[in-house]
Each structure stands twice: as structure tokens, then as C-alpha cells.
Structure 1
Amino acid sequence: MLATLLSNLKGSPASGAKCVPSYVAPDLGAAIRRHIASAIRQRKGSFPCYYINEWATYSLPPEIDDLPPVLQEQLYSEIMDRDAQKELEEGFIINWNPDLQIKLGSRLHALWNRSAGDCLLDSILQSTWGVFDRDNTLRKAMSDSLHEAGHIFYPRWKEWETQQALELDFTLVESQWEEDWSVLLNLASQPGAALEQLHVFTLAHVLKRPIIIYGVKYVKSWRGENLGYARFEGVYLPLFLEPSACSRSPIALGYTRGHFCSLVPPEPEISVSKSTLGAGIEDLGEHHDEKSTFLPLMTYDRKLLPVHFLRQDEIGREEVILRQWMDVCRVNFDPDLLVARQRIRKPPLLVAQMTEEWLNHYRKLAQSARAPFSVASRHGNSSPGGSSSGAVMSSGSGGNVTSPSKVATKHRGSPGLSTNQGGYSSDGDSDEE
């Protein structure tokens, strides 16, 4: 399998040291992971899938903009996967609509994770709770769900894969399907093993919410040669559950060369008014005044993202099905663009505390950089403004840095631009059943 082969390669190389919130505040990170583990339940009845009974969504904290420019650059370098950001933006896979970024503040930022076969699980927990799946809690819930509810997952998986195989003009006998299924079950249970589309589909049920993957069409070697067709891009819905029992707020992931990353937006400064949205606003109902970001459900060339694991009789009804599971609307500045609303609400307390400690790490660096020059200025030796940046240069890149919340306005005509953009945050929903 292509994903398995690629997992043996370094998925998304990152230069320099990394400094994520759970590394700065390891005790809080561990407490969050324990909380996630305690929130896992198993459904009763004919579909004994495991699920997390709380929802959370991560986003960039606005306090990043209060840091000195050089510290902002250091923060982004230590939290971002800039290789993934560059590839996704230059391929017009994310952030290709400048109006969506400027008018709705809906810009996505790729976050660094541990790579290898755990990157899918890491990126999902980063997009929700801001931590990695270091204890394999999410992997176990996914694996146990596939083993105990395999009789439900298997028929739909087989029908979907049969459709994909027919498009490539080949067929498999039942013994081959069973062998492939066994391989997928084994991959699910092995920490560090590469994961595939079925696992993403299962994770949508564990999260009880949609997962949107923005990914490259072809996986390429380091020399630019096509290694194969990447089939991860698209929408994964918890189709075996009732929509009313699930969150309508999706999370977003990126996929590049055998590697997944979390894609998070900045926290919106204000709620989105009805006047900003066009047709479909009625779907947002009484929650239209909540802070939200908007995720494209279409590619750059205005093709609807594929909806994975639909049955034959559901194909052709993708937009109707998407509206059943998400708050889908069109924006008045681009009526042809279909987007899904991602609700941004206060983060869980532990997540907020972890992020605050992470921000304090950079605030202290800023204070220590300013302090010597404050003393010097009292003696008339130098001005704090001109020297403070230089004191921090060794920790980050030189030069002026534009905040990611403002860079889209500055570069309206450059949707593929990726320099000095991105970061990490923690705002989001924490709805409970």
C-alpha cells in the first residue's frame, strides 16, 4: 500500500527545534490526554463503536499578535510545518481564496507533529484538543471500533473500494478483500503504523463529527516523480450515526507525501453577520452570531470535494448529504463557492491553561530581550526600540514579520504565499452530550 511505503520515509521534514504547547506545559498536556481517555465511551446495540463524548476545536489565539515581530517569527518557526504549508498553498489546495481569508478570517495554518505513522492521530488531536496521541488513546479507540464493529464497517468499505477498483479496471475476489481487511485491522492496532482511508472514516465516528482532508492529488518523490494517486482528499462523515447525535462543526487536516498535519484557523475577532453570507444562511439558524470560520467544500477549480464511503445509491447526492451533516452555505462575494461552518467557542479549561503557559514562554523571551536595553537606555547608551529585536535574532529569523491574521490583507493577490504564516492556538468548542 502506498501509505505504508511512504510511512517509511520522512513524511514532512521540519528544520530547527520545535516548541508546541504540550512540550512547554507537559503536565497539562498529560492531564488533557487523561481527560480524553476518560471521555471515551462505547455505543450499545448493533454498532458497538467507541466514541469521545466531548467536542473541542483548536484555533490560533489572538494574543500572538501582541508579541514582538521577531518573537512571532520564532513562535511560527517552532510550531508550524512550513514544508506542508508551502506545498498545500503553492498547489492551491488551501488558502486559495483571498476573499475567504480577508472577509471571513478563514485562513488555515499547518501545524508540526511527530510524523511517521502516528501523524494522522496526532493531527486529529491537535485540531481538537491541542495535544499529540502520545498514549495511543485515539488509536486504540479506532482499532477497537474496527474490531468490534467490523461487521458494520466492512460491507460499506468493500462497496466503496469496489467502486474505486472498477474505475481502475480491476477486480478482486472475496479472499483478496478479506486479506486486505485483515491488513487494515492490523495497521490500526500497531502504534506507528501508517493509516488509510478506512481509518479516517472510522475516526469520524470516534469523534462523532466530520473530517475534511485537503490533500495533494499525487504523491511525489523528492525528485518530483509521481509515486501514485493520493486518495485521501475529501470529506469523511460518521455515516453510521444519526446526524443529530454528532457535531456539525468539522475539523480540517492536510495531506502531503504520506504525511498528515493539523490545519487550524485564527480565532475570529468578531462573529459573522448574516449580511456576509449568501444563500444557505438559513442553515445556520439561531447560532449565526457565534464566532465561526468557513472551510471550502470545493477545490480551486470549483469541483466538490469527494465524499468518501458513499454507497452506490448515494453517489450524485453529495451536496444534499453534506447539508445533512454540516452547516453548509454560500458566501455572497463568491456565490459558486460552497463552504462549511466551523464553530469556534471557548476551549476547555485545561486546553486554555496549556496554551496560556505556551504563550507565556514567548512573553518571557520578549521581556528578557527588552530588559537589558531598558537599563542601557537609562544610561543613554541605546534606544530600546532599535536593539530589542536584535537581541532575539538568534532565536528566530531576521527582518520584519507580518502577523498571520494580517498577512492575507497585505497579499490579496497571492493565495499561494506561505512565508511567515501560521501558528498554533487553542480556541474551540467543547460541547458535551
Structure 2
Amino acid sequence: MSERGIKWACEYCTYENWPSAIKCTMCRAQRPSGTIITEDPFKSGSSDVGRDWDPSSTEGGSSPLICPDSSARPRVKSSYSVENANKWSCHMCTYLNWPRAIRCTQCLSQRRTRSPTESPQSSGSGSRPVAFSVDPCEEYNDRNKPNTRTQHWTCSICTYENWAKAKKCVVCDHPRPNNIEAIALAETEEASSIINEQDRARWRGSCSSSHSQRRSPPTTKRDSDVKMDFQRIELAGAVGSKEELEVDFKKLKQIKNRMKKTDWLFLNACVGVVEGDLAAIEAYKSSGGDIARQLSADEVRLLNRPSAFDVGYTLVHLAIRFQRQDMLAILLTEVSQQAAKCIPAMVCPELTEQIRREIAASLHQRKGDFACYFLTDLVTFTLPADIEDLPPTVQEKVFDEVLDRDVQKELEEESPIINWSLELATRLDSRLYALWNRTAGDCLLDSVLQATWGIYDKDSVLRKALHDSLHDCSHWFYTRWKDWESWYSQSFGLHFSLREEQWQEDWAFILSLASQPGASLEQTHIFVLAHILRRPIIVYGVKYYKSFRGETLGYTRFQGVYLPLLWEQSFCWKSPIALGYTRGHFSALVAMENDGYGTRGAGANLNTDDDVTITFLPLVDSERKLLHVHFLSAQELGNEEQQERLLREWLDCCVTEGGVLVAMQKSSRRRSHPLVTHMVEKWLDRYRQIRPCTSLSDGEEDEDDEDE
């Protein structure tokens, strides 16, 4: 008898394996110690094919080989027709399994216990009942099977059946509960499936996939919309009696069903602080979440990590506990900015929505080859002069709530970028104020709309116009961008050259940034925004990137003048807007309007009939060097005299008595949009109704004197 004719049968999938195999070839189950090996009748040779198989006709006259095991009995091999009729259907995948299989061959589900009269194929509507015959080997296995209730404990997270000696779940590493018997009593008969030691490797692989949990609470539709890794948030495991377990499970289910998208983002951000994932915090900030939000008792219970999360903890507390210095610097800055901010757009939400609809209605696309979008209205936002009529304490409150003090300090004191000229800031009354802006990734678009209409780009109207303009006029902007990047690399001595495929890849990345809400934008996008506004944009920004420790990382390249060079000059306005750039953040720089009375400076009121206020914006830095003009062509590039001549063509320029080249920004309160004027008035009414405590006490003393 050749060795190829002797096999052993797997007790799980009934596959006939060769005697040299120590694991099942089909399901990879371990070969039992007392394996019964049978002879394959179809492998005895080519001459034996077709004749009946005789168990005694083995090579050498020997009988089928039986491993020496006193407790093992020979398997009874029934005919194919009887075996096929006695197959049982899996209750999970309806696969027809052989009678000897105690688990489904396809999905490894436990075989359900049926009554002797129940048909294994009764799931089909048209099948006839067949008497259920018990395999003698199965009888033997069931009779000698150990008591799994006492030998295993069920994991409360993934429902895996672990051996009693295991201190934690071998699948999800969840700690073993202290009271194993209580959890065993709480398990239902359906959930108490037996996972053998041989199946651990397969379960570990399956748990790393999308079907890692065999049973989980139902997920609502609003939770399924949140596309992020929620598997890091573990459900709490309960320990107690059966009634307590049921109550605890229902409570956790109710908490999870009440969770909204913002709640999941907040929990994910908390876990992100613990694990050092900054993207989770940015996702929560981008959704408009409150950085100062505290963990509730239900949320701590859902997270189930007492060593990390406590009731009342915020993201800042977690960053301090786990020493996340980089996250702490960002979170503290965010909390200080959101502590008490009240800009006009927040006070009047109805008017703000009307302004957004007005902006969308004023956007049009130019016909012709250069099909760029543009705004039809010229609007410039300025702080109202009525602020100076308020008491000093109220004025301070107004500036604290509407300005970004950190940005103002960085642009004024740490590096002289704005208001460095006393002539401009004081005598010509052209001091610039940095408005507070949200840090949700859309700060550039928000600052542009703040400098013009005084609102945020909440509905991404400006971003959509930016994206469409870049795609519809891609050839025009691509040529300018490529020439400018080539000149910039040569001027700084980089001397690198890219293939056309590399230029195309970089350009595709710039296009993709415009279409992603919350994505950081670059210089090219500012150039396109200048064409949408049909007016120049002047950026006053820091020259170097710095880390939160103050280390210089590189050049920013944002500071300079962006002109709508692809439009005709007659189609554009010469009144620019000003933006400020600090570490990865843009802010709108606006002036305070002049009331037209008294001597408020040389540019106070050139036209008293229209109440026009002029703000002088410097075109040179504090060292009197001309600001760079971005995205010039090869013919437009030249020395400073040529660039100054170009600036005078696109801007209303003049030179002050101190010799500073400036651009005139003209704004008129009467000619401003009525919705913007109404919004600012309603915002000011909040402060007009505030009476300082000092003036109130003085007034009460005066009334007391009059009574006496």
C-alpha cells in the first residue's frame, strides 16, 4: 500500500488529508492527536480505476491504519446518497454541510441543535423532510466534549470565547472581567458559540478587517455618515448579575443612539489627543466644534478608559496629561481666541444669510476665452467711527471681541509689518486692525469676505467660484504660475528644472486644494481671488515659517501684491483690500472709517458729499523695500522701477510727505451695501446699551445730590 492512499479526516470540514499533513489543508485546523486515518480508494493506481473498492485489498494485505488511541473508534463511512440527504443547512449562510461537521465550512458558525425530527434542509420551502440521523462519531464527540461553560469566558467587546486561563481576550486584548460566571449567565444560547484553539489565527485575521466585531449595537443613520475611525472608541464592559448586565447594555445603547456627528467627532478628538493624532483634532475644529467642551459622564462611560478620561476634562486637560506639547500650543491659542468673540456676522444671523445670498447672486462668469468668475459689487468693510463715541471701557470690550489681539501683536510688535509708520497710522489715520477669524482651514476665503462684506465664507460660495475659475481658466493661470515658479527658483539660486509631467502633477495638486473645503490654500489661489474680486490684494505677512517653539523653518512667500493681471485694467477697480498672514493663518486687515468732521488726517475726507474715507496702504515694508508683485510674466519682470510703474497703473498710488509709496483704499459708508450697513448698526446697538459701572455710580450719586 502506497502512502498516497492513506489519509486522515478533519473533524471540522471532513476534508481527507494526507498522513504527512499536521494541519487540515482546507480549513487549517490542527490535526488531533488520536486521528483516524482511512484509505483513499481512488489513489491505488491507474489499473484499479473503475473497480469496486475493497477495504481488505490494501497493499501488503494490511487493514486501514488506526492511530494508537484507546478512546478512538473507527469512523463509519456512509454512502454518498445518505450523506447528501443528511446534510444540515447553516442558519447564517445556508451552506449545506456534511453531517459530521460541527461548524459551518463556509462561515465557521456553530451548528444549531435540532430535534431528531427536524430536517437539516428544512430552510428550503420545497424540500421534503428527511429523518435526521446522528453520526456515531458526532455522538462520541458530543459525549466526550468538555463543559465549555466552565472552560471558556466570553469577551464583552467582541464576544470571542476565550479559555479560562486567558487573562485578556486573544482577539481584541480586552481585559477579562472579574466575575466570569455572571457574564456566562448573561450570555444567550445563540451568542455562546465555541471558537476552538485551532481557529484563533483565522479570527485574528478576520478581526483586523471590516468585520472585526461579530456583534455590535445597531448604528443609526446619522452615525454612519461620519467617515472616520470609531473603532478606537471602545464600549464599556459590564460586570454583574444578568439583570444588571441587561440594564447596562440598554443604557450604553441609548447613549450611542443619542450621539450626533459632532459628538462622535469630539470623542474621536479626545482619543486623538491620547494617541497623538492631530488630524482628529483638526476634523473636530473644522466641524465648528467647541474646543472648551468638557467630557460628560456618559461620554466617559462610552470611552471606557478611566486611566485616560475623566468627567469634566477638555482637550486641553488631555493634552496636559499626556504631554502633547504641539497640540497644547494649538489648543490654547484656539481657546484664548474663542473665549469671548462677537463679530457683526455672529450678532445678526438673518442679515448674514441675506448677505451670503447677495454675494452668490452677484457672482457671474465672463464669456469668452477667459471664462473667470467675478463679483459685480465693490464693497469694502471698515470699522464704524461710532466706536470712538463709546466710553473707554466699552471701547476696550469692543476691540477685545472683534479683533485678534495675538495677530495684532505679532504683526505690530514682534515684527514691524503693519502700522510701522507713525505718519500713516497717526497723522493720516490709516491704522490697520486685524479682525478675528476662525481657524477652520478656510481662513483665506473668510478673510477675503471679511475685508469686503464683513462675513465668513460659511457656505463655500467663494471657494466654489475659486474652484470653477481655476478649472475653466486653467491654461491661463497655469502659464502665469509656471513662469513665476521658474523665475522664483532661479532668483533664489535653486537652479532646478522640472519635466512637464512634474509641472502637471504640481498643478493638479493646486487644483485639488481649491475643491476641498478646509484645505489650506497657496499663493496661486490668492492670485485667482484677485481676479474674482476684480481688485488688487495686498498681503502683509511674516517672512518666515516658525514652529511653536519659535524655530525658523523656511520662507512663507505670501507677502506682496496680487494684481488681476489677466483682466483688462478698465474692467477692474483700483481700490485694494489688505490681508494679514501669520503662522499658517490669514486675517482681514481693515481700517476705521472717518466721520468727515474735524481734522482727522490728510486722507480723512476728499469728497464730503459722498463721505468717502481713504486709507493709505503702504506698498513698501519697514525697510522701505518695494513689496513683490506676484505672478508677473517674463516681459513684466524687471527692476523696482518697472514694478513701481506697474503698481501705479493698477492702483491709485501716491507718495506721502515722509516719502512712503502708498496705495489708496477708498470706502464710503453711504455707498456701501445696505445689508452690511444694517448688520453693523445692529452689532453696535449691543454696545450702545452697555453703561460702564463707573458712569452708573456717578449718575446715582448725582441723583442723590439732587434729591437732597
TM-score interval (norm. to shorter): 0.7 to 0.9
Contact conserved, 1:297 with 1:340, CA < 8 A, in 2?
yes
Flag the 1:369–1:20 CA change in 2: closer, same or farther, 3 A. Answer: farther
Task: Write the letter of the residue equivalent to 1:107.
Answer: R
Alignment of 1:131-280 (within 5 A): 131-166=455-490, 167=492, 168-270=494-596, 276=602
Aligned to 1:77: 400
Q: In 2, Cα distance between the equivalents of 1:135 and 1:198?
A: 22
Q: In 2, Cα distance between the equivalents of 1:289 and 1:339?
A: 21
Residue 315 of structure 1: which of 628, 637, 657 is its match? 637
- Verify: 1:360 aligned to 2:685, yes or no: yes
Bigger mean CA deviation after superposition, 342-351 or 368-377: 368-377
Deviation at 1:158, TM superposition (A): 0.7
Q: In 1, Cα distance between the equivalents of 2:702 and 2:571?
A: 61
- Secondary structure of 1:213's partner? strand
Flag the 1:122–1:272 CA change in 2: closer, same or farther, 3 A. Answer: farther
Q: In 1, Cα distance between the equivalents of 2:411 and 2:436?
A: 14
Contact conserved, 1:104 with 1:272, CA < 8 A, in 2?
no
Aligned to 1:106: 430
Q: In 2, Cα distance between the equivalents of 1:369 and 1:126?
A: 34
Aligned to 2:379: 56
Aligned to 2:340: 17
Deviation at 1:312, TM superposition (A): 1.8
> Structure 1, residues 113-143: CA drift from partner, whole Å, max 9, x if none?
1113210001000100000101111111111
TM-score w.r.t. the length of structure 2 is 0.49
Contact conserved, 2:394 with 2:692, CA < 8 A, in 1?
no
- Verify: 1:96 aligned to 2:403, yes or no: no
Aligned to 2:673: 348
Contact conserved, 1:219 with 1:230, CA < 8 A, in 2?
yes
Q: Greater CA radius of gyration, 1 or 2?
A: 2
Contact conserved, 1:271 with 1:291, CA < 8 A, in 2?
no
Flag the 1:328–1:169 CA change in 2: closer, same or farther, 3 A. Answer: same
- Verify: 1:327 aligned to 2:648, yes or no: no
Deviation at 1:268, TM superposition (A): 2.5
Deviation at 1:380, TM superposition (A): 6.0
Aligned to 2:243: none
- Secondary structure of 2:388's partner? helix
Residue 358 of structure 2: which of 8, 12, 35 is its match? 35
Q: In 2, Cα distance between the equivalents of 1:379 and 1:366?
A: 19
- Secondary structure of 1:232's partner? coil
Flag the 1:87–1:367 CA change in 2: closer, same or farther, 3 A. Answer: closer
Q: In 1, Cα distance between the equivalents of 2:499 and 2:464?
A: 30
Q: In 1, Cα distance between the equivalents of 2:661 and 2:465?
A: 32
Deviation at 1:320, TM superposition (A): 1.1
Q: In 1, Cα distance between the equivalents of 2:602 and 2:591?
A: 18
> Structure 1, residues 168-207: CA drift from partner, whole Å, max 9, x if none?
3322221111111111111101111100000000000000
Aligned to 2:444: 120
Contact conserved, 1:41 with 1:51, CA < 8 A, in 2?
yes
- Secondary structure of 2:471's partner? helix
Contact conserved, 1:276 with 1:331, CA < 8 A, in 2?
no
Q: In 2, Cα distance between the equivalents of 1:22 and 1:291?
A: 23
Contact conserved, 1:21 with 1:358, CA < 8 A, in 2?
yes
Q: Which runs of 5+ in 2 are unaligned?
A: 1-278, 283-326
Q: In 2, Cα distance between the equivalents of 1:22 and 1:194?
A: 23
Give the fraction of aligned pairs with identical amino acids, expressed as a percent: 51
- Verify: 1:297 aligned to 2:623, yes or no: no
> Structure 1, residues 38-75: CA drift from partner, whole Å, max 9, x if none?
00000000000011110100111110011111111111
Contact conserved, 1:116 with 1:194, CA < 8 A, in 2?
no
Cα-Cα RMSD? 2.8
Greater relative CO (CA pairs within 8 A, separation 6+): 1
Flag the 1:41–1:272 CA change in 2: closer, same or farther, 3 A. Answer: farther
Deviation at 1:17, TM superposition (A): 1.6
Deviation at 1:291, TM superposition (A): 2.5
Richer in helix (by share): 1
Task: Write the letter of the residue equivalent to 1:76.
Answer: F
Task: Write the letter of the residue equivalent to 1:198.
Answer: T
Task: Write the letter of the residue equivalent to 1:328.
Answer: C
Flag the 1:369–1:26 CA change in 2: closer, same or farther, 3 A. Answer: farther
Deviation at 1:270, TM superposition (A): 3.6
Task: Write the letter of the residue equivalent to 1:352.
Answer: T
Q: In 2, Cα distance between the equivalents of 1:374 and 1:79?
A: 29
Q: In 2, Cα distance between the equivalents of 1:271 and 1:196?
A: 42
Alignment of 1:279-290 (within 5 A): 290=612
Q: In 1, Cα distance between the equivalents of 2:564 and 2:455?
A: 23
Q: In 1, Cα distance between the equivalents of 2:656 and 2:407?
A: 27
- Verify: 1:26 aligned to 2:352, yes or no: no
Contact conserved, 2:655 with 2:662, CA < 8 A, in 1?
yes
Bigger mean CA deviation after superposition, 365-374 or 99-108: 365-374
Task: Write the letter of the residue equivalent to 1:311.
Answer: S
> Structure 1, residues 301-350: CA drift from partner, whole Å, max 9, x if none?
11000000001221122111111111011012x12x11000002122110
Q: In 1, Cα distance between the equivalents of 2:564 and 2:598?
A: 27
- Secondary structure of 1:190's partner? coil
Q: In 1, Cα distance between the equivalents of 2:504 and 2:701?
A: 73
- Secondary structure of 2:418's partner? coil
Task: Write the letter of the residue equivalent to 2:361.
Answer: S
Task: Give aligned pairs, total.
Answer: 367
- Secondary structure of 1:292's partner? strand
- Secondary structure of 1:116's partner? coil
Flag the 1:170–1:288 CA change in 2: closer, same or farther, 3 A. Answer: farther
Q: In 2, Cα distance between the equivalents of 1:319 and 1:308?
A: 13
Q: Which runs of 5+ in 1 are unaligned?
A: 278-283, 382-433
Flag the 1:186–1:19 CA change in 2: closer, same or farther, 3 A. Answer: same
Deviation at 1:269, TM superposition (A): 3.8
Q: In 2, Cα distance between the equivalents of 1:288 and 1:361?
A: 28
